[in-house]
Amino acid sequence: MKKLFAFLLTLAMVLSLAACGGKTDPPSDASGSAPAQGNSGGSDSAAPTKLTLILRAGTYADVIKECLPAFEAEHNVTCEVQELSESDLYSGIALDAINPAGTYDLCMVDGSWMAEFTASGVLANLTELGYELDSDIIPATTTICYVDGQLYLAPYYGNVTVLMFNKANVEAAGYSAGQIQSLDDLLAICESAQASGKKGFIYRGDNQNNLVVDFLPILLSFGGWVLDDANKPTVNTPEFKAAMEYYLKLIATGEAQVKDDLIASVDTGAGTMGIGWPGWYTPTADSTADYIALSGSASAGAQAYNSNVYGIWTIGVPNNSQNKELAAKLLAYLMDADVQKSTVPSGGVPCRYSSLQDGDVLASYPQYEVVCKALESGMYRPVISEWTQFYTTLGTEMDNIVNGVKTVDQGLADAQANLEQLMG
Amino acid sequence: MKKSQILKARTAGSAARRFGLGMISPTMLVLLIMTAYPLLFTLFYSFTDYNLLRNLQKPASFIALGNYTKLLHDAYFRQAILNTVKFTLLAVIFEMLIGFGIALLVNSLTRGQKTMRTLLLLPYLLPTVTVALSWRMMLSPNYGIVNQVMEALNLPVFNWFSDMRTAFGMLLLIDVWQSAPFVFLLLYAALQSVPQAQYEAARIDGAGAFKILFFVTIPNIKNSLALCALLRTIDSFRLFDKVNLLTGGGPANTTSTITQYLYNYGIKSLDFGFGSAGAIVMTILVLFLSSFYIKRAMG
């Protein structure tokens, strides 16, 4: 009896383990048709092919999602979209890259991941898949899309750092948007706001990446950068120190907040200014906040540097996608000039002259003129495979400096030493 | 007759052993697959420079104790250990005190025990992410209710998660708020098993409330107290989700725990070899801390 009981129990356990690993049919989509995997190209009479997209959550994914139904109807596909935070998107793409058969067919990639992804063969060669960028796309935005003349990514969403500001607070300080010509003007406005009981400059201090990214436009305005042409760290330099000392004065007028709080602060007037991205906020004629591109000058009369930092969201096809050709068609469709222009009312920011310089678009969204100029002369964050460790190390030391744990000299010296060790 | 009885007894004994082995074999199999294998796998990779993406082009190479040396020489890792130990000690002390206090209070109620039990358990039932995001909203410097109430009462307001003076305390508060109900539940159940006769005898002997607490209640529930402390120590030591969501280890590493450090420097950059080394170090620390409790519990 005991033996029989033991046998039945073991059998039940083995069967349940086997059942857990069994393949299940994927759920059918909303229209009721059963999706099918494979590179069939989605022929009309066959069951729809399923394409899986992994995208950055927020406006970036929303504008893509609204374009999908037309493509789905034309090509007999169903698109499943995963929307993730930046760090989850990075790890999601990376973790799937090691699988021989990938889960994703289209991925959204931040430009700073390009070097790591292409070095590891994560992305499919779009040139070999028959796709090329057209001349309507702003040339400066395409520099990181190519490796050895081959295309791997397409610049989809034109994120570039802008200076978000509350209109009323700026006016109360005696300035208009057009009069903000240098970082000294920024500081003057923020100090004036602080004196009147409001917060001046709001910065994102919630993680190392945000600390570094918010600081980069300031650093560029002082003529500094984090790496030289030989990819050696340049953080312990007079320019970096001057930028850091200025930044400490600037952030002393405000405080650190997370992204949502920063936007709310500037919108409500509780805060005056902050570094932001067009994807965060769509100003209108009667909105309380607006944004401009930074001039790139540290002070009046000083040399103006290119200080707009790209945060462009590109799209590509994972190299282990099971539907590469169809995914390439989807990519080409999403990058179509007319399709991209149609996303503008929903907050889309195409990297295209036809969208950003269109008369009707500018009539409704005049800020896109600013964005276009910024995109024409932007700087990508360093395209190095060690960028994640780089900004973690630099951000940690900046966090120490900002919070007074280390002096500027001490913090920058430690950052330089650690980064030299990292870059070899 | 005697021989056959001995044979029967032996057969019955070996049958019982086989039955016992058969009963625990499914569990052993699951333990081997879900615990032993990942642990050995992690230990193996801790001696390599395994990076998830770089491994696609070039396999990982053996670097012996390179990861461990780098880890133990890193001042930020040592700070993370200090933060973790400090957090664990404070969290366990507060959770035990508050949980025990609530358990005594609810146990003493003559009416409404069930209602109080359910209400008090609610924070523990909430997902950690929900708790973290809710507290983040309440403590928001912009529209958070806490700052608004404090402003109305003319009290100083803080940027709770970005201020070095308050960030650690806030994490501690949120963790205690969520986890004290768990301690309350376990100790409340233990209090139910204390014989009432002992309380009556103590009262007859003229013992006051404190003497009853220290000489009747606590001795009877000491095993449950030890178990609670052990479980909360292990959980607090592994704190990650609240730190990652609310502070990211900042400001200036004041809230960086071991797991947050491993995430920042190992997992985020897909340096799983380095992350594995950190995980092994953390496992050893947890085992060391737990050994005190386990030894005491086993007498």
> What is the secondary structure of B200-244 as a DSSP string?
HHHHHTT--HHHHIIIIIHHHHHHHHHHHHHHHHHHHHT--HHHH
Partner-chain contact B136 A265, CB within 8 Å:
no
Q: Give the span between the Cα atoms of B204 and B220, in whole angstroms.
A: 19
Q: How confident is the model at residue B250 (pLDDT cuts 50, 70, 90)?
A: confident
Q: Is the peptide bond before B251 cis (omega within 30 degrees of 0)?
A: yes
Q: For residue A3, what pLDDT is reported?
A: 75
Q: State both tokens at A226.
A: 């984090």
> How large is the C-alpha radius of gyration of chain A?
25
Q: State both tokens at B178.
A: 């969520």
Residues with pLDDT less than 50, chain A: 22-43
**Could you tell me if A266 and A166 are in contact, meaning their C-beta atoms sit under 8 angstroms apart?**
yes
H-run or E-run covering B270: none
Q: For residue A19, what pLDDT is reported?
A: 60
Q: For residue B103, what pLDDT is reported?
A: 96
Q: For residue A424, what pLDDT is reported?
A: 85
Q: Give the span between the Cα atoms of A349 and A160, in whole angstroms.
A: 10
Q: Give the span between the Cα atoms of A352 and A223, in whole angstroms.
A: 28
Partner-chain contact A256 B159, CB within 8 Å:
yes
CA distance A228 to chain B (A): 22
CA distance A277 to chain B (A): 20
**Could you tell me if A246 and A252 are in contact, meaning their C-beta atoms sit under 8 angstroms apart?**
no
Of B142, B252, B264, the CB nearest to A400: B252
Q: For residue A18, what pLDDT is reported?
A: 61
CA distance B42 to chain A (A): 17
- What are the structural domain ranges in chain B? 2-40, 72-297
Partner-chain contact A255 B56, CB within 8 Å:
no
- Looking at the domain that runs over B72-297, which CATH code has it been given? 1.10.3720.10
Q: For residue B10, what pLDDT is reported?
A: 74
Query: Helix B75-108 crosses helix B272-297 at what angle (to 10 degrees)?
Result: 40
Q: For residue A133, what pLDDT is reported?
A: 97
Q: Which residues contact B202 (CB under 8 A, 6 or more apart)?
A: B211, B212, B215, B216
Q: Give the span between the Cα atoms of A306 and A196, in whole angstroms.
A: 32
**Percent of chain B scored above 70 by pLDDT?**
98
Q: Give the span between the Cα atoms of A214 and B294, in whole angstroms.
A: 49
Partner-chain contact B251 A403, CB within 8 Å:
yes
Q: Give the span between the Cα atoms of A391 and A209, in whole angstroms.
A: 6
- The CA dihedral of A277, A215, A112, A96, to the nearest 10 degrees, is -80
**Could you tell me if A319 and B53 are in contact, meaning their C-beta atoms sit under 8 angstroms apart?**
no
**Could you tell me if B119 and B231 are in contact, meaning their C-beta atoms sit under 8 angstroms apart?**
no
Q: Give the span between the Cα atoms of A270 and A334, in whole angstroms.
A: 38
**Could you tell me if A123 and A100 are in contact, meaning their C-beta atoms sit under 8 angstroms apart?**
no
Q: Among A184, A163, A368, which Cα is nearest to A272's?
A: A163
DSSP 8-state class, residue B254: T
Of A3, A10, A389, the CB nearest to B26: A10
Taking CA atoms, B272 is separated from B157, B207, B287, in Å, by 41, 59, 22
H-run or E-run covering B127: none
Taking CA atoms, B93 is separated from B87, B98, B293, in Å, by 10, 9, 14
Q: Give the span between the Cα atoms of A393 and A389, in whole angstroms.
A: 6
CA distance A4 to chain B (A): 10
Residue-range domains of chain A with CATH: 49-159+311-376 (3.40.190.10), 162-309+386-423 (3.40.190.10)
Taking the model in full, what pTM does it have?
Answer: 0.85
Query: B59 vs B142, which has greater pLDDT?
Result: B59
Partner-chain contact B162 A87, CB within 8 Å:
no
Instruction: Tell me the residues of A at the B interface, defined by beta carbons under 8 Å apart.
Output: 2-3, 6-7, 9-10, 13, 87, 91, 94-95, 97-98, 116-117, 119-122, 205-208, 255-258, 261, 264-265, 268, 270, 385, 388-389, 392, 396, 399-400, 402-403, 405
Distance, C-alpha B50 to centroid of its chain: 29
Q: For residue A22, what pLDDT is reported?
A: 47
Mean pLDDT, chain B, whole residue set: 92
Q: Among B113, B264, B69, A219, which Cα is nearest to A227's?
A: A219
Answer yes or no: is pLDDT of B87 > 70: yes
Q: Give the span between the Cα atoms of B261 and B96, in whole angstroms.
A: 27
Read off the pLDDT of residues B60-71 as tens digits, 9 standing for 90 and up.
999 999 999 999
Find chain B residues with C-beta within 8 A of A264's C-beta: 142-143
Find chain B residues with C-beta within 8 A of A6's C-beta: 18-19, 22-23
Find chain A residues with C-beta within 8 A of B53's C-beta: 94, 97, 116-117, 119-120, 122
Diameter of chain A measured on Cα atoms: 95
Q: Give the span between the Cα atoms of B192 and B221, in whole angstroms.
A: 10
Q: How confident is the model at residue B294 (pLDDT cuts 50, 70, 90)?
A: confident
Q: State both tokens at A417.
A: 């030493």
**Could you tell me if A320 and A96 are in contact, meaning their C-beta atoms sit under 8 angstroms apart?**
yes
Q: State both tokens at B96.
A: 């035990």
H-run or E-run covering B261: helix B258-262
Q: Point out the least confidently predicted range of B118-132, B183-197, B279-293.
A: B279-293
The strand pairing partners of A314, in sequence order, are A109, A155
Q: Left if phi > 0, otherwise alpha if psi is -120 to 50, otherwise beta: which for A26?
A: beta
Q: For residue B8, what pLDDT is reported?
A: 74
Q: For residue B298, what pLDDT is reported?
A: 60
Q: State both tokens at A379.
A: 């700087």
Q: For residue B57, what pLDDT is reported?
A: 85
Answer yes or no: is pLDDT of B282 > 80: yes
Instruction: Tell me which residue has tokens 């460790």.
Output: A389
Distance, C-alpha A118 to centroid of its chain: 18
Taking CA atoms, A108 is separated from A132, A315, B29, B60, in Å, by 17, 4, 41, 28
Instruction: Tell me which residue has tokens 């309440």.
Output: B138
Partner-chain contact A205 B250, CB within 8 Å:
yes
Q: For residue A42, what pLDDT is reported?
A: 47
- Closest residue in B to A17 (Cα–Cα): B30
Q: Which of B53, B136, B256, B274 to mutate to test the interface with A (most CBs of A within 10 A)?
A: B53
- Closest residue in B to A10 (Cα–Cα): B26
SS3 letters for chain A?
CHHHHHHHHHHHHHHHHHHHCCCCCCCCCCCCCCCECCCCCCCCCCCCEEEEEEEECCHHHHHHHCCHHHHHHHHCEEEEEEEECHHHHHHHHHHHHCCCCCCCCEEEEEHHHHHHHHHCCCECCCCCCCCCCCCCECHHHHHHHEECCEECCEEEECCECEEEEEHHHHHHCCCCHHHCCCHHHHHHHHHHHHHCCCEEEEECCCCHHHHHHHHHHHHHHCCCCCECCCCCECCCCHHHHHHHHHHHHHHCCCEECCHHHHHHHHHHCCEEEEEECCCCCCCCCCCCEEEECCCCECCCCCCECCCCEECCEEEECECCCCCHHHHHHHHHHHCCHHHHHHCHHHCCCCCEHHHHCCHHHHHHCCHHHHHHHHHHCCECCCCCCCHHHHHHHHHHHHHHHHCCCCCHHHHHHHHHHHHHHHHC
Q: Left if phi > 0, otherwise alpha if psi is -120 to 50, otherwise beta: which for B165?
A: alpha
**Could you tell me if A216 and A166 are in contact, meaning their C-beta atoms sit under 8 angstroms apart?**
no
- Closest residue in B to A87 (Cα–Cα): B268
**Could you tell me if B195 and B222 are in contact, meaning their C-beta atoms sit under 8 angstroms apart?**
no
Read off the pLDDT of residues B43-61 as tens digits, 9 standing for 90 and up.
999 999 999 988 888 899 9
The dihedral sign for the CA sequence B23, B26, B29, B31: negative
Find chain B residues with C-beta within 8 A of A117's C-beta: 53
Distance, C-alpha B82 to centroid of its chain: 16
Answer yes or no: is pLDDT of B160 > 80: yes
Partner-chain contact B22 A389, CB within 8 Å:
no
Taking CA atoms, A361 is separated from A313, A342, A348, A369, B43, in Å, by 21, 10, 11, 10, 58
What is the rounded average pLDDT of the residues B273-286? 93
Q: From the CB of residue A28, how many other CB atoms can be counted at a distance below 10 Å?
A: 13
